[in-house]
Structure 1
Amino acid sequence: MKSLTILEVGNLGGVVVMIIGIIILGALFISLVVALVAKIIYEWKGDRKFSRKQFIQTMLISLLICGLISGYICGGA
């Protein structure tokens, strides 16, 4: 017997979109927290300034790492 995927069962596209949206929002939140922690650590001592460009780059790198991790978990290995 052929196994069915979640899309073949019938009209569950909304559930799939919700799951993907939750994963994206979770990754954005986690990368924002990581970028804020990096900013706090960077500016902790001295008069160094964490620029907006550095913040966005840190958030983007963290978001890419979250995407790799979620792809590994959801895709299976």
Structure 2
Amino acid sequence: MHSQIWVVSTLLISIVLIVLTIVKFKFHPFLALLLASFFVGTMMGMGPLDMVNAIESGIGGTLGFLAAVIGLGTILGK
């Protein structure tokens, strides 16, 4: 288990990483978020396959929720 200081500092560094990659280096926000998620996974000691599975399930859950909202919105919009 990691100390709270380590977790909070990793969170703050990842936020700075996201902002810098978007604003300074002009990365697409999706790529910046992906890079930051790999950074957090590495800093928390996750293996490469665990990171890919966690990111995949997170993106899948979000897109599944958005698909339902967009679908209901189009039904109500007619």
What TM-score, normalized to structure 2? Answer: 0.42
What TM-score, normalized to structure 1? Answer: 0.43
Question: 1 or 2 for the larger relative contact order (CA 8 Å, sep ≥6)?
Answer: 1
Of Structure 1 and Structure 2, which has the larger fraction of its residues in helix? 2
